[in-house]
Structure formats: structure tokens, C-alpha cells
Amino acid sequence: MMKHITVSLDKRGVSCVAKLLDDVAPRTCAAVWDALPLSAPVFHGKYARNEIYTLVPAFAPDPGKENTTVTPIPGDLCWFSFDSDDLGNPAYGYENTTGTGTTGAIVDLAVFYGRNNLLINGDQGWVPGNVFGAITENLDEFAAACQDLWMGGARGETLSFSRL
């Protein structure tokens, strides 16, 4: 049975529906599904281009690499695993003690809403992500809200994932 989730920008009141890609990323999908609902402050990508994401303390063992990409397409949902030390560089805009609020393992759940994304980081090089979902409904309206987040700011906004 195909699983679907809702992805929302809560303050902006916009949501989209995504299907989980259990056939190509079963470990990642299971980890996300079992942890839902999840909600945390949203950030807009600085390097990857058309990306919004949230950072949460690890809620499951790292699923390892599956269905990875460094060129996500519009509608892709990706999982990234980081250690808090990976994100401690002030160039990222948050530090271990002030931004993420976490220490140790961090899960980055990202939504890509436009084209021409490239997952390369000046400090770490290529940063492949596990593609675990694909938006199937309301991508256009969600993308417009993501663009508003980029231009209008992310303060006070949350990114939420829940079972449909």
C-alpha cells in the first residue's frame, strides 16, 4: 500500500501531498513514517538553491545511503544525516549552541521546489541526499510559498510533516 504524507508551511497555511518512495528508499521511508508527525523551524537553502528544510535531532538510526542524488528535482523530499559539528560553522547561519538547538546526530528533512539544484557544499564537497518522497499534489502553490519564504524570511515559520 502506498503511503502519503502532508508537508506544510504552517504560518503561511500552505500544504502539499507527497507519496513515500518505499520501493527505492524503504529504510528512509520507514524511519520518517514511524516518526511522524514532525515539525520544526524552517530554513531556506543557502547553497542548494530551491530548497527548504528543517533540522531535528536524530529520531531513528541513520538509514544509510539509498536512492541518493546530488541533483534533486522539483518535488523531491530528501533525508540528510549530519553531526552537529558538521553544521557548527558560522557560515551556515547557525551554530551548535544557538541555531539548531541540538548536539550529536541531526536529521535534515528537505523539500526541493524548483529546478537546477546542486548539492555541493564549500566545506564538505558533495552532499548526497536520500530521496524518500515525491510531491504529487499542490507543488505549484507550495513552491510559491517557498519562494515567499526566500524573499520574505523564514522567522516564525515551521515546516511540518504528517501522515495523510
For the stretch 5-48, pLDDT in tens is 999 999 999 999 999 999 999 999 999 999 999 999 999 988 78
Residue 34, pLDDT score: 98
- At 125, is the pLDDT very low, low, confident or very high (cuts 50, 70, 90)? confident
Helix (H, G, I), strand (E, B) or coil at 142: helix
For the stretch 73-123, pLDDT in tens is 999 999 999 876 666 555 555 544 434 555 578 899 999 999 999 998 777
Residue 95, pLDDT score: 46
**CB 129 within 8 Å of CB 79:** yes
For the stretch 142-163, pLDDT in tens is 999 999 999 998 899 999 999 9
Pick from 18, 117, 118, 27: nearest CA to 65: 27
Mean pLDDT score, 110-137: 92
Residue 139 has pLDDT above 90, yes or no: yes
Residues 6+ apart with CB under 8 A from 154: 41, 42, 43, 44, 52
- For residues 49 and 33, what is the distance between their CA atoms, to the nearest angstrom? 27
- For residues 55 and 107, what is the distance between their CA atoms, to the nearest angstrom? 6
Q: pTM, whole model, 2 decimals? A: 0.90
Residue 105, pLDDT score: 85
